[in-house]
Amino acid sequence: MYKRIIALLKKDILLELRQKHTFYGILLYIAATIFVLYLSIDKPDANIWNGLFWVILLFVCVNAVAKSFLQENKGRMLYFYSITSPVEFIISKMIYNILLMTMMSLLTLMLFSAFLTNPLNNFLLFTGIVLLGGSSISIVFTLMSAIAAKAQQNAALIAILGFPVILPQLLLLIRLSKTAFAEIFKQGAVMQLMALIIGLDILVIAMSVILFPYLWKE
């Protein structure tokens, strides 16, 4: 099982390395949006900075993860169907998307703090939260992309399906990231929030593993 997951993961990474245009497309997307923000507002205060950051990260994720199932055409899906199980397939996609999103969120964070000043008190803590948030968002959008790939107008559908579902997690993340802006939390509240986000991630992973086999069959 692990072997096949790793093989699938390798295939996705290789594809990414060979077709660099999608990767650079997302990079350009990040750079352009942040530059637009830089030109339209100077020195946003901490709350606005935080809100903008998560919204940008959400849109980056939609763009990065959306293609994970769209790029697989019908013939190739048929091939995967004959060589792997759906559980291995969805897990490999999730791991790949988490890796991709980790990179993208770090990059977003770097550009954000370079262009839009840096109101953070605890940069390291915020980086940790961003990594957690990036992977949570990408897990949810992996399943949404799998669902949307079944319908015809997929790209728009991912946003429609995913945004309401991601809202609870996003609210928790925005709340949690306020610790990095030196907001004082009640004793244990940070751990509670963190545990809740991780719990939600586990719930989403479990749901994906259970539900994907039904999506997979054509």
Partner 1 sequence: MQKNWWKILSFLLLVYTIVGGFLLDVPRLFILNETIRNLYFHVCMWFGMMILFSTSFVYSIKYLRGFNLRNDIYAHQYAAVGSFFGILGYATGTIWANYTWVTDQSQSLGNILREPKLIGAAIALLIYGAYFVLRGSFTDMDKKARVSAVYNIFAFAMLFPSIWIIPRLVGSLHPGSPGSESGNPALNFKDIDSRLRMVFYPAIIGWTLLGVWITTLRIRLQLIKDKTLLHD
Binding site for partner 1 (CB under 8 A): 143, 147, 150-153, 157, 160-161, 163-165, 167-169, 171-172, 192-193, 196, 200, 203, 207, 211, 214-215
Q: Closer to partner 1 at the Cβ: 30 or 149?
A: 149
In whole angstroms, the minimum distance from the beta carbon of 150 to partner 1 comes to 5
In whole angstroms, the minimum distance from the beta carbon of 129 to partner 1 comes to 17
Q: Closer to partner 1 at the Cβ: 110 or 207?
A: 207
Q: Closer to partner 1 at the Cβ: 110 or 156?
A: 156
Amino acid identity for residue 152 in this structure: Q
C-alpha span between 46 and 38 (Å, rounded): 15
- φ/ψ region of 153 (left if φ > 0, alpha if ψ in -120 to 50, else beta) reads beta
CA atoms within 13 A on the CB side of 65: 35
In whole angstroms, the minimum distance from the beta carbon of 204 to partner 1 comes to 8
Question: What sign does the dihedral 106-111-114-118 (CA atoms) show?
Answer: negative
Q: What share of the chain is helix, strand, coil (3-state, %, to 5)?
A: 85, 0, 15
Structure tokens at 151: 């319908």
Q: Closer to partner 1 at the Cβ: 112 or 216?
A: 216
In whole angstroms, the minimum distance from the beta carbon of 161 to partner 1 comes to 5
In whole angstroms, the minimum distance from the beta carbon of 191 to partner 1 comes to 12
115 CB contacts (<8 Å, ≥6 apart)? 34, 35, 37, 38
Q: Closer to partner 1 at the Cβ: 163 or 181?
A: 163
- φ/ψ region of 43 (left if φ > 0, alpha if ψ in -120 to 50, else beta) reads left
